[in-house]
Chain A
Amino acid sequence: MSLVDWIVLIATLGSLIAYGVWKSRRDQTMDGYLLGNRSLAWYQVGLSVMATQASAITFLSAPGQAYTDGMRFVQFYFGLPLAMIVISVTFIPMFHRLKVYTAYEFLENRFDLRTRTFTSLLFLIPRFLSTGITIYAPSLILSTLLNWNIVWTNLFMGGLVIIYTTSGGVRAVSYTHVQQMLIVFIGMALAGWMVVRLLPPEVGFTDTLRLAGKLGKLNAINWKFDLNDRYNVWSGLIGGFFLQLSYFGTDQSQVGRYISGESVGESRLGLLMNGILKIPMQFLILLVGALVFVFYQYHEPPLSFNAAERARVEQVPAYNALAEEHRQLATQKSREITALHTALERNDESTATVARNQIQATDVRIDATRSQVSDLIKKAGGDANDTNYIFLHFVINQLPVGLVGLLIAVIFVASMGSTASALNSLTSTFVVDIYRRMLRPTASERHYVQFSRGITVVWGVLCVMVAMFANRLGSMIEAVNILGSLFYGTILGIFLVAFYFKKLGATATFWAAVGAELLVVLFWRLDLMAFLWLNLLGCGLVIGLAWIIQRLLPEPDVS
């Protein structure tokens, strides 16, 4: 990176951290530190919710996913607007009326302490694991840029976020989210514009889209219903609905954002804004990945986008032969792409089909070469999965001075935003639902705020430890979603029973939740369905099992 890039990066990060620390200086009460005195406007709620969900993984992994798998991942978000409506109708009024700090407090009112505690634990486990992954993502960038060991960059990134989060309460987190989203939108729009500019002059934006489409990368919609297909319209609408409903309705990292709204109306409007904007935003991020794919049809891509792993095998004799073969294939493919582009310009479908078939045949040979390099990397003890490095490689090697710094800053601030929310929610859940409720119920406000700051550091350290192992998890964005799907369905089931099944009591719900969670993990281990459906399974099992248990063992305390 050039000096200008470093200045852009450091100035962006430094100003955000300073702003966060400055904003938090007044928050000396629990209400202030954990809920920002419930004073946020709708647009702050909306942008904060979006910034919490859009972590660095979104900007690293999603373009890479579009590059390798096309744009079908966008269907994952189809259930989100519907989930926002259900939460606006049901969850928000309830949380505001009860003035809760966490979503799980409500469960003790409705059921009992053990259900509240069990649900809190179901939240804490996946949230701290996935927060580790969100710390790992920007660490990856730093390690590639500075050629540092990933262990040190994890420690550095984790440390930076811990300082920022510990000193900043939820108000600081939410205020900085607004600026973060602005930086993110500007950065990604510029990246997309630059990709098209870097293509040959005769290839315009529409040509790029036609090429990407012909090569199968603009597969945004798949109507075919298939339980084992991760991304189609139905898995997105139904499975995605349950995942988003459980994520936004019961995950404290999101609940904490919208219960900080000034009123029910402000919270609702913020969530609905997220519901409308999220799919177009994700579409544009994936589109950038598809455009990067077209760019690498004209330019030779590396044999592995992970420079560190590639360096492991560059001295191996077999690698040189593969690199030479790959170079020839890339040149051949560049010619074939030009032929396809010419055929498309002339609307000559038969020539276009021939060119596309030739490209597909060349791609098979290129994939075989890349696969052999992956084998070499694996043999050398490395990680052959380079999906998360594709966009990063493009940014560092192709974008102009200044924009590289800005794009790296986008990834960093996105990570800071989501990690800050996550650490804040881990802290509030642990302090409110476990420490204050069970261990020390009568301490002063000042004590709880100080304890909250301390426990944020502990969670931060645990998350950094998870980050050390995150590179073994494949595509990071999928790893986070799989983790969520394992637990969120059960949590959602508990909340739905609480809201809609008034006749089901505490004991039935608690044991149903325990049984459902065990069955969900079993289904996942046996690989019986795509992960998005686990949300529906977990949720349905809690409701079904609770109903059966209630029938078998009626509770005297049922309302």
Chain B
Amino acid sequence: MNAPETRPDGLPPFVRSWRQLYGLVIASLVAVIAFLAWFTAYFQ
């Protein structure tokens, strides 16, 4: 039987490590900037 995996304290269930969560935050920043660039260009 495998021992239960120890998860870092407070880590949300949809990521495996803090590093992965930081990656998601950076990805969301890139997505927001891309959206704003489209928004500016589209409504210009």
- Find out whether the CB atom of B44 lies under 8 angstroms from the CB atom of A265: no
A336 at the interface (CB under 8 A from B): no
- Find out whether the CB atom of A221 lies under 8 angstroms from the CB atom of B36: yes
- Find out whether the CB atom of A264 lies under 8 angstroms from the CB atom of B10: yes
Instruction: Give Cα distance in the complex from A209 to B22, angstroms.
Output: 33
Interface size class of B (residues with CB under 8 A): 20 to 34
- Find out whether the CB atom of A233 lies under 8 angstroms from the CB atom of B33: yes
Q: Within the complex, what minimum Cβ distance (angstroms) separates B35 from chain A?
A: 9
B40 at the interface (CB under 8 A from A): yes
**Residues of chain A lying within 8 A (CB to CB) of residue B22:** 85, 88-89, 272
Instruction: Give Cα distance in the complex from A264 to B9, angstroms.
Output: 7
- Find out whether the CB atom of A218 lies under 8 angstroms from the CB atom of B29: no
Q: Within the complex, what minimum Cβ distance (angstroms) separates A503 from chain B?
A: 28
- Find out whether the CB atom of A85 lies under 8 angstroms from the CB atom of B40: no
B7's nearest neighbour on chain A, judged by CB, is A265
Instruction: Give Cα distance in the complex from A234 to B13, angstroms.
Output: 34
Q: Which of A5-44 contact B (CB under 8 A)?
A: 42
Known pairs A81-B28, A85-B22; A74 contacts B43 (CB<8 A): no
Instruction: Give Cα distance in the complex from A280 to B18, angstroms.
Output: 23
Known pairs A74-B36, A78-B33, A88-B18; A263 contacts B28 (CB<8 A): no
Instruction: Give Cα distance in the complex from A279 to B39, angstroms.
Output: 14
**Residues of chain B lying within 8 A (CB to CB) of residue A88:** 18, 22
**Residues of chain A lying within 8 A (CB to CB) of residue B42:** 213
B42's nearest neighbour on chain A, judged by CB, is A213
Main secondary structure of the interface of A (DSSP, over half): helix
- Find out whether the CB atom of A84 lies under 8 angstroms from the CB atom of B8: no
Q: Within the complex, what minimum Cβ distance (angstroms) separates B25 from chain A?
A: 5
Instruction: Give Cα distance in the complex from A90 to B11, angstroms.
Output: 17
Q: Which of B2-36 contact A (CB under 8 A)?
A: 8-12, 18, 21-22, 25-26, 28-29, 32-33, 36
Interface size class of A (residues with CB under 8 A): 20 to 34
Q: Within the complex, what minimum Cβ distance (angstroms) separates A72 from chain B?
A: 9
- Find out whether the CB atom of B40 lies under 8 angstroms from the CB atom of A269: no
Instruction: Give Cα distance in the complex from A60 to B31, angstroms.
Output: 28
B1 at the interface (CB under 8 A from A): no
Q: Which of A230-249 contact B (CB under 8 A)?
A: 233
A212 at the interface (CB under 8 A from B): yes
A453 at the interface (CB under 8 A from B): no
Q: Within the complex, what minimum Cβ distance (angstroms) separates A106 from chain B?
A: 21
Known pairs A209-B43, A265-B11, A268-B18; A276 contacts B25 (CB<8 A): yes
Q: Which of A198-250 contact B (CB under 8 A)?
A: 209-210, 212-214, 218-221, 223, 233
**Residues of chain A lying within 8 A (CB to CB) of residue B25:** 81, 84-85, 272, 275-276
- Find out whether the CB atom of B29 lies under 8 angstroms from the CB atom of A81: yes
- Find out whether the CB atom of B9 lies under 8 angstroms from the CB atom of A280: no
**Residues of chain B lying within 8 A (CB to CB) of residue A78:** 29, 33
- Find out whether the CB atom of B40 lies under 8 angstroms from the CB atom of A220: yes
Contact of B8 among A218, A265, A279 (CB under 8 A): A265
Contact of A42 among B10, B18, B39, B40 (CB under 8 A): B10
**Residues of chain B lying within 8 A (CB to CB) of residue A275:** 25, 29
- Find out whether the CB atom of B29 lies under 8 angstroms from the CB atom of A220: no
- Find out whether the CB atom of A268 lies under 8 angstroms from the CB atom of B29: no
- Find out whether the CB atom of A280 lies under 8 angstroms from the CB atom of B32: yes
A269's nearest neighbour on chain B, judged by CB, is B10
Instruction: Give Cα distance in the complex from A70 to B20, angstroms.
Output: 35
- Find out whether the CB atom of B10 lies under 8 angstroms from the CB atom of A266: yes
B9's nearest neighbour on chain A, judged by CB, is A265
**Residues of chain B lying within 8 A (CB to CB) of residue A269:** 10, 12
Instruction: Give Cα distance in the complex from A448 to B43, angstroms.
Output: 57
- Find out whether the CB atom of B44 lies under 8 angstroms from the CB atom of A213: yes
Known pairs A85-B22, A210-B43, A213-B43; A263 contacts B9 (CB<8 A): yes
Instruction: Give Cα distance in the complex from A264 to B18, angstroms.
Output: 11
In the A-B complex, the 10 residue pairs with the closest CB atoms: A265-B10, A213-B43, A265-B9, A220-B36, A81-B29, A221-B40, A218-B43, A221-B37, A85-B22, A220-B40
17 pairs, CB–CB < 8 Å, chain A vs chain B = A42-B10, A81-B26, A81-B28, A82-B26, A82-B29, A88-B18, A210-B43, A213-B40, A213-B42, A213-B44, A218-B39, A218-B40, A220-B40, A221-B39, A264-B9, A275-B25, A279-B32
